[in-house]
Structure 1
Amino acid sequence: MHIHNLTEQDSILNTFISEMRDVTIQKDSMRFRRNIERIGEILGYEISKVLNYKPSQIETPLGTCEMNVMDNDIVLCSILRAGVPLHNGLLTYFDNAQNAFISAYRQHHKKPDSFEIIVEYLACPNLENKTLILADPMLATGQSLVATFEALKPFGKPKEVHLACVIGAQEGIDYISKHFEKDTHLWIATVDPDLNEKGYIMPGLGDAGDLAFGEKLQH
């Protein structure tokens, strides 16, 4: 797997991530969502550097200009619900992309550190020979990304796969590296070293879905 950790080089991205982590700033849910969107825009720009381009003749008011324009048939898929702001940020740059949405959540067993990933809602166009960008803000254990990708397989085999994440744990990266093909690209804003006993990223930032949209209803 090709891993692109964007905070290996300092940039304005550091500011957005630090605000998302900060327990005082992250209480502003609108700013939290906007920071995820901005990170999505940055990830989209970086992904665009490795996509395919073709020459195109552009007519300006004063003449003709030849430019290389993107030549990828993109499907952008996000994991609900925390993936919605990240999806919006990526869609700002890939505005001609087709869109897919999938729900995946942890169903905990009696033991607090034991869970399985449940995939329910899924809406997806044909993926055959497309460029798939699979967006999930939090890459913790990596099980959600693997489960959702398995659920997408009946829709066709993509030509290439890009994973877009905000924060990940090294354990999760190691896990998905074993389950995705070697030519898969992981684009991630920053990597944290550990998971706690419940499988949450440390130091992380908390529950991204709750911070973006409010606490989940308890059944």
Structure 2
Amino acid sequence: MQINNLSETPSILNTFMSELRDKTVQKDSMRFRRNIERIGEIIGYELSKSLQFETHTIETPLGNSETVLHQSDIVLCSILRAGVPLHNGLLNYFDAAENAFISAYRQHKNNPESFEIIVEYLACPNLDGKILILADPMLATGQSMVATFEALKPFGTPKEIHLVSVIGAQQGVDYVSKAFRADTKLWIATIDEKLNDKGYIIPGLGDAGDLAFGNKLQQ
């Protein structure tokens, strides 16, 4: 897997990341969502450089102009609910993309430190020969990303697979690197060192879904 860690080059992305992590700034849920969206836009721009481009002639009021435009059939798939702002950021740049949504959540049983990933709702177009961008802001254990892709397999085989996350733990990055095919590309804003005993990223930022949309009614 090709891993593209955007934090390796300092940029304005650092500002948005610092605000996402700051527990004081986090109290503004609208700003939290907007920062994830802006990070999605930045990642989308960087990802776009890897796509296939062709030369086109554009007719202007005064003549013709040649430009290169991407020729990719893209499907954006986000994991509900935390993935919505990230999805919006990507969609701001890939506005002609088709869209897929899936619910994947951790179900804790008797032991709060163990869980399984439950996939329930799924809506997806045909994926055959298309570019799949699978977005989840938090890449913790990596199990949600893998479970989501397994659920998408009946919809066809993508030509390319791109994984997009805001923050990941090294353990999660290692997990998806082994689970996805070798030509998969991971685009991530930053990678943190570890997970705690409950599978949350440290230092991370907390629960992205709760911070963006409010506390869950059920766990």
Task: Please say whether Structure 1 and Structure 2 have the same fold, judged by a TM-score greater than 0.5.
Answer: yes
Counterpart of 1:19? 19
Deviation, 1:110, is 1.1
**How far apart, in 2, do the equivalents of 1:71 and 1:121 lie?**
30
Matched ranges for 1:1-219 at <5 A: 1-218=1-218
RMSD (Å), alpha carbons = 0.6
Write the letter of the residue equivalent to 1:191.
I
**How far apart, in 1, do the equivalents of 2:110 and 2:131 lie?**
39
**How far apart, in 2, do the equivalents of 1:66 and 1:83 lie?**
36
Structure 1 portions without partners, runs of 5+: none
**How far apart, in 2, do the equivalents of 1:164 and 1:63 lie?**
39
Deviation, 1:28, is 0.2
**How far apart, in 1, do the equivalents of 2:180 and 2:97 lie?**
22
SS of 1:34's equivalent? helix
- Percent pairwise identity: 75
SS of 1:172's equivalent? helix
Q: Deviations over 1:122-179 (max 9, x none)?
A: 0000000000000000000000000000000000000000001000000000001110
**How far apart, in 2, do the equivalents of 1:35 and 1:169 lie?**
20
**How far apart, in 2, do the equivalents of 1:107 and 1:212 lie?**
20
Structure 2 portions without partners, runs of 5+: none
**How far apart, in 2, do the equivalents of 1:217 and 1:66 lie?**
54
Write the letter of the residue equivalent to 1:13.
L
**How far apart, in 2, do the equivalents of 1:71 and 1:87 lie?**
20
Deviation, 1:66, is 1.0
Residue-pair matches, total: 219
Write the letter of the residue equivalent to 1:141.
T
TM-score, normalised by the number of residues in structure 1? 0.99
**How far apart, in 1, do the equivalents of 2:50 and 2:9 lie?**
18
